[in-house]
Structure 1
Amino acid sequence: MRGMQKGIYMIKELIYGLAWKPEGLPYEKLEKSIHQLHDAGINTVFLEMGKSASEVLKCCGENSMQVVIDVSGADAGDPGFRQFLETAGALDCVIGFQVCDDAELMKGVEDVRRRGQEFVELLSARAAVQDQMTGAETAFCGDSSRGGYDYTEGESAENSGDENVSRTPGVKKPFRVAEIEIPEDWKTMPYPGQLKLQILSVFAYGARGVVLRESRTSSSMGSVCRGSSLKHIFSGELYDEIAEAGAALQKIGPSLRNYKANCRAAVIADQQLFKMFPSDSSEESADTPGYSEILHRYYDLLYRMNVACDVTDEAAIGDTELKDSYDLIVTPSLYSASEKLIRNLKRFVKAGGVLVSTVMSFRASEKAKIHDGPLPHGMTAVFGASYEKVVGAANVTVAGKPIFHFAELLNANEVDCVYGYTHHYWGRYAAITSHSYGKGTAWYIGCFPDKDVLERIVKRAVESAGISLPASCWPMAYRSGMISPKTEMTFGFNYTSENRCISCPYDQVEDLITGRKYRRGNPIDLKDWGVMVLKHRI
């Protein structure tokens, strides 16, 4: 094993961490484990309170490892906790504290926190959009603890991304760290390359770090990363892949220092619908699709088109002027919206933004009180359309394809009508409209159309927003960001079990992981579940 290099680890702004509570380990084994973490590129230990916490702090301090103290489960009234905080707060190796919303804990940490020590905001790489908003348990993106993903399941293994680093528009918070659960046994083992891909993907979306954590879904919860079970993490293929990801992060780390993800699109989610509708449609609720299903349809389309987007909500938007942050906004069934948000969206379109709103949007206030009068409330002038009638989807088609669930019968002029309904009685009504408002364009989709029809509409909206689409799309995923005014970094992810070859789309690039250089048109080979990080001038 290589000796430790004092003071050498990845840039402080980049966190590659492991959540650890090594109870019962003698100091010699503890120090050996710290060495192994360092050799794998891990630069930060997320330390839970416990009997061995002081020893871990000492060992990390001696070996130039950063520490984030997890005090979220502590008892603020415990004298021992206060004493531990005072000791930890004075150590240079402690760079931050992970806390919950407990006011006493927050006060205790503030009393001992030194300059430069930050609060760390964790975002689960398993988390659904609704996890972030309502605490629901439905997985929106993939997690490594579920096991290997086949080609057709690639979308489930993706995006530790947009929704996990979703942010208040225009606000950059320090140390936004995504969690990835580590599998425990062969039943949940990811395929070779998938864990590395997932680790690197969170940085492509603008997160400042990632922390590996024991699987919460394990049948023997608590055995990973604890005590005698450390062999599971520190040996074998899993350790090798963690180390491969660490080596890649060492290479791209300096460029990530100033990395700002390019993200000119947003999906605004509705917290009220998470509470009002089931997660997914069922036989009992076939006419009422689950909000997770609705949200998926639009987010997944953008993802497959390689359109980077924030997933946000009204509370996160606050007073931010949306056009300052985005060119395209999608509101999948934004059922409840305040007058303040409606005014903001109007200004967004008037200033040149492109808005895509869908069936059930703007029906109620932020308190879910249904509006009287023409719908969508407050937005009829923006969409150039309104409706009062809602009908079933039986025997109704749009663009030759059947629709689902139900339909809003839109009143619109011929210019704004993109698609109308085909039906013996409802054929005079519009189904999908596009209307110029100010300098921008507002689309309204008044039904649940076929996937192909929806994809055509969303693609037209993306293009009209001036968002360029890469030549290749899913299962190749791309995310890019600026690292200087004239230099861009582009991540490419191969979400398949097959090797792929793509044509270099830039005049001159360097793959920061392999060190290879390419010119426009050169073939770039990417193995199964492979990752490339291209640095290029613009």
Structure 2
Amino acid sequence: MSADRKIHYGGDYNPEQWPEEVWAEDTRLMKEAGVTMVTAGIFSWARVEPRPGDYDFGWFDRVMDRLGESGIRVCLATMTASPPPWLSALHPEVLPETGDGRRRWPGGRQHYCPSSPVYRTYATRLVERLATRYAQHPALEMWHIGNEFGCHTRQCHCDVSAADFRRWLRTRYGVVEALNDAWSTAFWSQRYDTFDEVLPPRLAPTFANPAQQLDYWRFSDDALLQCCLAEREVLRRVTPDVPLTTNLMPHHKPVNAFEWARHQDVMSLDFYQDPYDPGTHLTAAFNFDLMRSAREGQPWMLLEQAPGAVNWRARNSPKPPGAMRLWSWQAVAQGADAVLFFQWRQSRGGAEKFHSAMVPHGGTDTRIHREVSALGRELASVPEIAGTRSRADAALLTDWNSWWALELDSHPSDALDQTLINRAHHRPLLEAGVACDIIPPGRAFGGYKLLVVPNLYLLSEENAERLAAYVHGGGQLLVSFFSGIVDDCDRVHLGGYPAPLRELLGLRVEEFWPLDEGVRVPVDGLPAAERSGTTPSAAYGGAAEADLWSEAVELEGAEAVAVFRGGELAGRPAVTRHSYGAGTAWYVATRLEPAALRGLMDHVRDAAGVCPVLAGLPARVQATVREDEEHRFLFLLNHGAEAAVVELPEPMRDRLRGDDAGPVSAVTLQPRGVAVMER
């Protein structure tokens, strides 16, 4: 990003949808709305290469020149997200296939097999021409590779992918005997004599080999990444000093954000809040923390959101007045240095014509455009925020390999959802005003006072040892049920569940006891709090309910903090605590209701010495801090329907109220209100 300090503001710009005479109005309105950067060219392949090898960049030259003359920077897309119809007409083998052999045809977007060498050849040829042409263009700010990888084509099961999968397996395992061992092929007579016999996990008479399915998730993620890296290699060679990014989807199962982060200069996210979901800010918060943490605290970009309604939900609500502003500031509060929308001007035709835009069908005399312009001015008023960072004492561990394995079939329960489980454990920290990083199990733990591990089903011996060393050295660890069960090949760790964590947790799980849908069991003995949001007392005895899952836990040094008071496991431990070295390991053998999990996690983080950004936060008020050597910004966001008063630790002034606003000791936040406080 540019050296000049600013929060970039803008959106997707698709001038090919409009007559050229509209373009002059576009740049004028962009300047008036405070736009500093647009993403351009995302779906321009068919326009710049209407026939194979026949390029027409003249019109796009004029777009780039006009934006540059207006002082608007360009995040230039590589144009490869949606191949033109001629590619699949010439090469139908580039089209993807589902696991049951159905071909996906052109007419939408992302109609390509990620493993297709033909697709990659044509895509990188285009990127080479694009990069060479615009390498020195003064408007070029950064590169935007592809678009939303894995959004529609998550996996392909065609013969091209099958051949690529076999190549990938040879690289991973070397010899077929190693594959047979990893995949436990002695079961059901699945032994392979050569790699040539291996297929993708296509539609089978019954459960497919789970290790095969797990490896196919890994392979499919890598196939998508290789498409990205092929373009990245061209851009690095032609424009080595221009940063690059690609926009990820929210906590997107097909794409391992931690792995992809290693190949980006800046992380970017597309996130569309749902106005009908009262917890949409919680979902956003988890994803925003994930983006910030993926590159170890580096500021990231909100590359797409909607200024109003989207077009793809069953019911598409507009954002109420103030919601777009609130949710945009939430991204900034959690580390974003750019706020952009899809898209600049609302399409007249096509599948997204009812998706809102910065310039709606009704033009500039509309609520959306007025709010968009006001937000642009507001973001520009606090340029010093850009580049500041957040510091967290707590971290939540998650792992894509474990996610892929957890949600496979033939498990004790098919109701385990990694996304929901992660968010449930993130929510208590967010609501308490505690900064939280989201990290993979291979990341260094030393800087954290508290680690939260929700359902890390797949856990290597090495990472289990690292967790043990963390606790032994004085760390506080909270682990939830069905963790540490299998190795990297989805083979059960022998020696009693959870074998690699038994000594650390001081317990053994004799049996899993998933609960039937709708069944709830009482739990007694939880840390008691006066109310949600307050510091818990040291006393125990709180009662709550749990659902989804339970386990028959036998203590091996741990103590029972809470016990089941009903069901088949009545009287047996539900929550345990184990002193291990200088630290403590907690285990939760069921899914506690949200208030109970909040009380427990408040207690654990209090024991860890993890303090909130601001004590005594009103309900549904979010507080975060971004800072550097010169500035410390306290962000306050009211996600509630009622006004809230926030007491400040010292007099501060609200930067959004202008330079004339004096310091105050308390802030009144109206519903959907935002304050950015600084000493």
Normalised by the shorter chain, which TM-score bucket? 0.7 to 0.9
- Matched letter for residue 61 of structure 1: G
- Map of 1:308 onto structure 2: 435
The corresponding residue for 1:4 is none
Q: Which residue of 2 aligns with 1:380?
A: 502
Match of 1:492 among 610, 614, 636: 636
Question: Amino acid of the residue matched to residue 641 of structure 2?
Answer: S
The alignment's TM-score, normalised by the length of structure 1, stands at 0.82
Q: What is the match of residue 92 of structure 1?
A: 138
State the one-letter code of the partner of 1:298: H
Partner of 1:155: 279
Partner of residue 369, structure 1: 491
Q: Are the aligned partners of 1:123 and 1:178 in contact in 2 as well (CA < 8 Å)? A: no
User: Residues of 1 paired with 2:457 and 2:310: CA distance?
Assistant: 43
Identity between Structure 1 and Structure 2 (%): 17
Tell me: CA distance 1:413–1:107, structure 2 relative to 1, closer, same or farther (3 Å).
closer
Residue correspondence of structure 1 range 413-492 to structure 2 within 5 A: 416-423=559-566, 426-427=569-570, 429-469=572-612, 470-484=615-629, 487-492=631-636
CA RMSD of aligned residues (A): 3.7
Once residues 170 and 98 of structure 1 are traced to their aligned partners in structure 2, the CA distance between those partners, rounded to angstroms, is: 17
1:248 matched to 2:378? The reply is yes
Contact 1:21–1:226 (8 Å) recurs in 2: no
The separation in 2 between residues aligned to 1:228 and 1:431, in whole angstroms, is 51
Which residue in 1 is equivalent to 2:537?
none
Matched, 1:59 2:185: no
Where relative contact order (Cα < 8 A, 6+ residues apart) is larger, the structure is 1
Q: Which residue of 2 aligns with 1:179?
A: 304
Structure 1 residue identity aligned to 2:638:
N
Relative to the length of structure 2, the TM-score reads 0.66
1:346 aligned onto 2:339: no
- CA distance 1:370–1:185, change in 2 (3 Å): closer
CA-CA distance at 1:286 after TM superposition: 7.3
Match of 2:235 among 103, 109, 132: 109
Q: Within 5 A, what are the aligned runs for 1:65-214?
A: 65-73=72-80, 77=122, 82-100=128-146, 101=225, 102=227, 103-115=229-241, 117-124=242-249, 127-128=250-251, 130=253, 132-133=255-256, 143-144=272-273, 146=274, 148-149=275-276, 153-158=277-282, 160-166=284-290, 167=292, 171-173=296-298, 175-183=300-308, 187-214=316-343
- In structure 2, the CA distance between the partners of 1:185 and 1:204, relative to structure 1 (3 Å rule), is closer
1:64 shift after superposition: 1.0
Pairwise CA distance, 1:22: 1.1
- Tell me what 1:260 maps to: 389
Say which is worse superposed, 98-107 or 391-400, in terms of deviation.
Answer: 391-400
**Offset at residue 105 of structure 1 (A):** 2.0
| CA-to-aligned-CA distance 1:220-274 (integer Å, 9 cap, x gap) | 52437999986457541111111122122112222x1341113222222243564
Offset of 1:424 from its aligned partner?
8.5
CA distance in 1, matches of 2:301, 2:584: 34
Q: 3-state DSSP class of the match of 1:46?
A: strand
State which drifts further: 219-228 or 437-446. 219-228
- 5 Å-filtered alignment, 1:280-319, equals 288-314=415-441, 318=442
Aligned partners of 2:576, 2:303: CA distance in 1, in Å? Answer: 38
Aligned to 1:14: 7
Which has the greater radius of gyration? 2
Q: Secondary structure at the match of 2:511?
A: strand
| Cα distance in 2 for residues equivalent to 1:211 and 1:527 | 25
Which whole-Å CA distance do the structure 2 matches of 1:331 and 1:159 have between them? 18
Q: Is the 8 A contact 1:386 1:411 kept in 2?
A: yes
Between the aligned partners of 1:218 and 1:165, the Cα distance in structure 2 is 35
In structure 1, give the amino acid aligned to 2:654.
D
Counterpart of 2:153? none
Q: Which whole-Å CA distance do the structure 1 matches of 2:36 and 2:72 have between them?
A: 6
Structure-2 separation of matches of 1:227 and 1:405: 41
Residue aligned with 1:382, SS: helix
- The CA deviation at 1:76 is 5.6
The farther-off stretch of 224-233 and 416-425 is 224-233
* Superposition deviation, residue 193 in structure 1: 0.6
In 2: Cα distance, 1:228 partner to 1:454 partner: 40
Secondary structure at 2:563 match in 1: strand
Residues 10 and 253 of structure 1 are in contact (CA less than 8 Å); yes or no, is this contact kept in structure 2?
Answer: no
Following superposition, the deviation at residue 426 of structure 1 comes to 4.1
Query: For 2:446, which of 307, 323, 327 is the aligned residue?
Result: 323
Gaps of 5+ in 1: 1-8, 135-139
What pairs with 1:25-44 in structure 2 (closer than 5 Å)?
25-44=18-37
Deviates more, 1:329-338 or 1:265-274: 265-274
For structure 2, the residue ranges without an aligned partner over 5 or more in a row are: 48-58, 82-119, 147-224, 258-268, 525-542
> Residue 527 of structure 1: which of 670, 676, 679 is its match?
670
From the superposition, tell whether residues 503 and 156 of structure 1 become closer, same or farther in structure 2 (CA, over 3 Å).
closer
Q: Given that residues 398 and 419 in structure 1 are in contact (C-alpha distance below 8 angstroms), is that contact kept between their aligned partners in structure 2?
A: yes
Task: Classify 1:143/1:369 alpha carbon distance in 2 versus 1 (closer, same or farther; 3 Å).
Answer: same
**CA distance 1:35–1:131, change in 2 (3 Å):** farther
| Structure whose residues are more often strand by fraction | 1
Q: Residues 402 and 26 of structure 1: is their aligned pair in 2 closer, same or farther, counting only changes over 3 Å?
A: closer
CA distance in 2, matches of 1:228, 1:179: 12
Q: Distance in 1 between matches of 2:471 and 2:144?
A: 39
Residue identity matched to 1:482: E
Deviation at 1:494, TM superposition (A): 1.0
